[in-house]
Structure 1
Amino acid sequence: MFTKSLLDSWIREYSDEKNYHWAIELKEINEVIGDIDVFNLKDKHSSCEIGYCLSRAFWNKGIMSEALNAVIKYLFDEVGLNRIVAMHNTKNIASGKVMIKNDMKFEGTLRQASKLGDSFYDLNVYSILKSEWKA
């Protein structure tokens, strides 16, 4: 039931033409294995944040690096943004590696910036500017 309500909310969000949220599908099995989302889109600052999630069975295969690369390219070339930010839990080192593979630069750590259950955790912040992007 949770998955259906989540998908319903994503569909409703698409009534906003500035909503960018994609499913990641593995062509070989014709199955959704993750998603990548653009949020905190700020026209005034020509910036946004990106978040992503991938099923554990598909980690360490370069899939998320490829998806992030395609979205960064789209946001710079088609949407015309200047700055893209992404963050990850400091314990999720692999997520940071995805950002680094896409030429994102480490900006710092936000201490106890997020909470899961009763525990706070730190977030590493990365960004890339259009002028740094290698098309």
Structure 2
Amino acid sequence: MSKNPYDQFPHITTNEITLRRIIPSDSDSLFEIYSNEKLFVHSPSMLKKNKDAVANMIGHFERDFNKKKWILLGITLNDNPNFIVGVAEMFDYDSDVNMITIGYRLNDRFWGKGIATKTVKAITDYLFHDIGINRIQAFVMPENTKSLNVLRRNNFVEEGVIRQGHVWKGKGVVDLTLFSMLKSKYIV
């Protein structure tokens, strides 16, 4: 029996990281992420140069959750729960297929520490076990090797490249590699 991922705002905790609601006091750490050009080279989102714009986004996260459009979570390390080191996303939920798309972005100061890999595992565990999702998918620009490797380390299946099949803000028409994981193939 599957639940709707928008029935309750997720709070996901593992031994090392927590994925939680983003609150107004997170605006400085969120600005550090959304104003970093390195983090938007392979992303459909746009860079934010203004702290007020980032602070305003936090209210939109709550609104988008209530509209059942998008779930955005702050990634924190358990030894510093008040500092967001990245964001994790769940969106494009399709109840007919029982499928959802995920995404993630990590502050580059925390790259190379396994945090993105642990984040994808935490999201996958949550969606399969707590929500009952059947299919999780992610789209990655083929040149984004770090993100490709995160999904591969989590045993997502590379389904292929969708050539010139999506328009990403600020990027135009792009190629995207599609990865997926099915609940029936998931090994904890």
SS state of the match for residue 14, structure 1? helix
Higher relative contact order (CA 8 A, sep 6+): 2
* Higher strand proportion (structure 1 or 2): 1
Residue aligning to 2:56:
5
Change (3 A) 1:77 1:3: same
Q: Give structure 2 stretches of 5+ with no counterpart.
A: 1-51
On the 8 A contact 1:76/1:82 being kept in 2, the answer is yes
Residue aligning to 2:19:
none
TM-score by length of 1: 0.90
On the 8 A contact 1:37/1:51 being kept in 2, the answer is yes
Change (3 A) 1:110 1:82: same
Q: Give structure 1 stretches of 5+ with no counterpart.
A: none
Q: CA RMSD in A?
A: 1.9
From 126, 130, 151, the counterpart of 1:78: 130
From 62, 70, 78, the counterpart of 1:27: 78
Residue aligning to 1:122:
175
Change (3 A) 1:15 1:97: same
Change (3 A) 1:80 1:118: closer
On the 8 A contact 1:114/1:123 being kept in 2, the answer is no
Q: CA deviation at 1:2?
A: 1.8
Change (3 A) 1:119 1:40: closer
From 31, 47, 50, the counterpart of 2:99: 47
SS state of the match for residue 66, structure 2? coil
- Mapped to 2, the partners of 1:118 and 1:88 lie a distance apart of 13
TM-score by length of 2: 0.66
Identical amino acids, percent of aligned pairs: 30
- Mapped to 1, the partners of 2:61 and 2:160 lie a distance apart of 31
- One-letter amino acid of the structure 2 residue matched with residue 39 of structure 1: F
- Mapped to 1, the partners of 2:90 and 2:171 lie a distance apart of 27
Q: Which runs of 4+ in 1 moved over 6 A?
A: none
Change (3 A) 1:127 1:118: closer
Q: Deviations 1:95-128 (Å, cap 9, x if unpaired)?
A: 0100011110000111222345365432111000
